[in-house]
Chains A and B, each alone.
Chain A
């Protein structure tokens, strides 16, 4: 589950996914006594927590005052950034989806949840999730088809 949650956070373009991953697992550990259910339910529960933490993080970032370019310190190019294999083209294509489409597509395939589980996490109907998934995949196909690496 750890890699899946991290992938979910990365695909959602969280500024610091590793930090948020730690917060998610911290909450999972704290709230474990409240959880009841089987493995599938646990997976859904963890991603519900991740989903909520993601929303909190976005709200927090939105409230944070923006720094001007002049105040951003110079960073050495990937000096202490861990070398993690990612798929930059795919991430860029995900950026072009609507937030709803991206949420659904990432929960569905990166987090590997079923349609029903995605519907529960995002509080949508299964039909709506299906439609969002279809549109998202179509759009990703178009974007990646014209991408030079596709």
Chain B
């Protein structure tokens, strides 16, 4: 069935096919694409709690992309990249290629007494029954991002009651109610919040592409913020953290 010389011919064909995928991208095309990437807002959605991780991902992403585009470091070495791409390439090209961000965030070890726990719940469960309140207050096992709250001085006045031992009846101070997690599901507030999420997403995106994904990302980002911080919506979606993350990268 196999004709004479068939294997040799096949090897040659495979070699030619492989070579087709190794033709380097011309510099002018790479430069044009990099400029296009540069003009696009890389921040995908409003994210506050995962600020550090996002910043790192963007840095790695930009560097990674530079490597992808050029197929090497020629443009960066020649200083021929657009300014910001060149700066990124200069500072972070060592991350190109394999250094993709980890799937899971780092966990805090504060208060773990030397132990290692996959999450906060595991740590609390490991403590003796009846004496878990202190463990529950600890940061052990929580995502690192959740244990380093944003440095907004007004947060404490909204989210932390002065007397935690006194149960809040919920009918005396409507302003407090809004700061609690779990109240976001209430009728009108929920609708308002959803609207806010979508509008945030649409204002942060400048390109008009992949709108569905953007909305989903914004929602998931907002829900992440709810579960990990427990602070109010206004604080989580504030623009200051976003701009900080973005400026930190550039």
Contacts and interface: CB of A to CB of B under 8 A. Distances in A.
**A and B: bona fide binding partners:** yes
Nearest to A18: B29
Given A2-B69, A25-B65, A33-B57, A110 B100 contact: no
B234 interface: no
Contact of A29 (B23, B42, B213): B42
Specify the main secondary structure of chain A where it touches its partner.
Answer: helix
Interface of B: 3, 6, 9-10, 13-14, 16-26, 28-30, 32-33, 36-37, 40, 42, 44, 54, 57, 60-62, 64-65, 68-71, 97-98, 100-103, 209-210, 213, 217
Contact of B213 (A5, A22, A31, A112): A31
A98 B224 CA distance: 46
Contacts of A38: 98, 100
B23 A6 contact: yes
Contact of B25 (A21, A33, A85, A90): A21
Interface of A: 1-8, 10-11, 18, 21-22, 25-33, 35-39, 42, 46, 82, 84-87, 90, 105-106, 109-112, 137, 140-141, 144-145, 150
Contacts of A86: 20, 23
A141 B10 contact: yes
Contact of A144 (B9, B57, B65): B9
Given A25-B65, A36-B103, A37-B103, A137 B20 contact: no
Given A39-B98, A137-B13, A82 B26 contact: yes
A79 B84 CA distance: 32
B71 A3 contact: yes
Nearest to B25: A2
B68 A25 contact: yes
A82 B29 CA distance: 9
Contacts of B97: 39
